[in-house]
Amino acid sequence: MRKKIVPEPQLIFTKSSPGRVGCNPPKADTPEVNLAECLGQVREEFHFPEVSELDLLRHFTNLSQINYGIETGFYPLGSCTMKYNPKINERTAANPGFTHIHPMQPDATVPGALEVLAQVQEILCEVTGFDEITLQPLAGAHGELTCLMLIKAYHESRGEGDQRKVILVPDSAHGTNPASAAACGYSVRSIPTTAGGNTDLEALAANLGPDVAGLMLTNPSTLGLFEPNIEKICMMVHDIGGQVFCDGANMNAMVGTTRPGDHGFDCMHLNLHKTFSTPHGGGGPGCGAIGLKSHLEPFLPKPVVRRNASGVVELLRDRPQSIGRVSAFLGQFLMEVRALTYLLAHGKEGLPRISRFAVLNANYVKARLNGVLPAAHDRPCMHECVLTSQPYKQHGVRALDFSKRLIDYGIHPPTNYFPLIVPEAIMIEPTETESKETLDQFCDVMIQICKEAETTPEVLKSAPTSQIVGRLDEAQAVKQLDVAYRPWAKKKVAAGV
Ligand SMILES: Cc1ncc(COP(=O)(O)O)c(C=O)c1O
């Protein structure tokens, strides 16, 4: 049975009453204009809710209170790095000097903004070990695609574009990797992972040939493991003339500690919206900044942000070999302001603490849950641990049931069933910003749920019971995404209009 803790929320439209208003603006002292006459045609039907100011305020305040976020509780959603982002970053991003500029202003009128971009690029070059950074890509997947476009342009410049048509992708990769390769016109060949959780070198060798344009390797992998053979793998791919891309979405495990540019990679993407301060998720702004070695530099998206010999930051547009723009302007500018604040606030000394605590916290959770939820791989993990609820399948309990039950204990679920190669995967990324007390509370709850799974599995199967909705039909939500309220449209359909 569903237990309601708050009244079922109504849509604001259902609270609407004709003629009710939220405010009384003064009468306009400018002449009225007939929009239809000016524009030729305007919509006649508007379906704005008509509510009072108080109703409106209550409606959205109540909605906000049934929401869950990092500011309400622990958010161990694996591979998402849902860490706390200090408020100072938001304060600097809200500075009117940044928010009131326009992307189409002449370069000479925005030297401060260009300086921000250049500084972020320079610090990220130092952090990643790459020669160049561009901040144009607007998401991690967009950064992947941009790197593949650079790789393609590189092969084409050497007359090998027609020959190199294949991108190799390990079977543990995030789904965006093969999708980006396909979007870039490549065919994808999957490389298996060994029982130990590493890239299968024999399978890799068997797949390397003159048709291979490159390899996309995630490090640390989506199994939360550091790939011990990176240097060897990079050499193997380079030996056949291929390029190696690093999916660096998991940079939180490495920042300030080790640099992918030193491991042999040719290019990588970073999720600034995971590691460097903007909250991840919710469809908000993202930045899939990419780093690259100098041989890929001629193909950089343009305009290129570059500090000249006199220290002045310029936008270089005359770039004949560039792949062109990958975003309308220079990326999500306010994200770069947040990232710069974050990078400078931590400084050289502080950045390594991020990765050390991220890795420590994940290993702590893994060790505390070891007796009840075994790790998919029995070795130290990086920023996240991948556990399996396989032992509880005999009680009819699946990984998803663990996650749903966690909601009843007031904790956001971890990621389930990813990576695909781990049966009943429960992927936990605690991040560095959580205290030992929070981690202990989470582990205590998980241990309690494991007991319930053995003794009262039906409790897990019917969870969550504490929320205004129980289990949602997630498959239908994906297949029939319709988030608009349009009863008038339904009425029209019913009336055959
Ligand atoms: C390993 C990995 N690669 C790529 C991505 C794609 O990033 P985005 O969601 O910003 O496109 C993610 C997303 O979290 C990821 O975890």
Q: How far is the CA of 371 from the centre of ligand 1 (A)?
A: 31
In angstroms, the CA 18 to CA 11 distance is 16
11, 485 contact by CB (below 8 A): yes
- DSSP H stretches of helix in 372-425: 399-408
* CB of 79 shorter than 6 A to ligand 1: yes
* CB of 286 shorter than 6 A to ligand 1: yes
139 Cα nearest atom in ligand 1: 10
Structure tokens at 441: 């509370």
What is the CB neighbour count within 10 angstroms for residue 305? Answer: 25
Confidence (pLDDT) at 194: 98
Q: What distance lies between CA 326 and its chain's CA centroid?
A: 18
The residue contributing the CA closest to ligand 1 atom 6 is 140
Of 236, 229, 234, 235, nearest to 245 by C-alpha is 234
* CB of 247 shorter than 6 A to ligand 1: yes
| Residue at token pair 């890799």 | 204
79 Cα nearest atom in ligand 1: 16
Structure tokens at 364: 């702590």
* CB of 80 shorter than 6 A to ligand 1: yes
Q: What is the DSSP letter of 77?
A: B
Q: How far is the CA of 124 from the centre of ligand 1 (A)?
A: 18
Q: What is the pTM of this model?
A: 0.91
| Residue at token pair 């060897």 | 232
* CB of 389 shorter than 6 A to ligand 1: no
Helix (H, G, I), strand (E, B) or coil at 216: strand
Confidence (pLDDT) at 281: 65
Of 300, 319, 273, nearest to 130 by C-alpha is 300
Mean pLDDT by 10 residues, the chain (497 residues): 58 90 88 88 82 94 89 94 93 96 96 98 98 97 98 98 98 97 98 98 98 98 97 98 97 97 98 88 80 98 97 97 96 95 96 98 98 97 98 98 98 96 98 98 98 98 94 86 71 60
14 φ/ψ angles, rounded to the nearest 5 degrees: -75, -15
Confidence (pLDDT) at 297: 98
The residue contributing the CA closest to ligand 1 atom 12 is 249
Confidence (pLDDT) at 230: 97
In angstroms, the CA 151 to CA 181 distance is 11
In angstroms, the CA 243 to CA 265 distance is 8
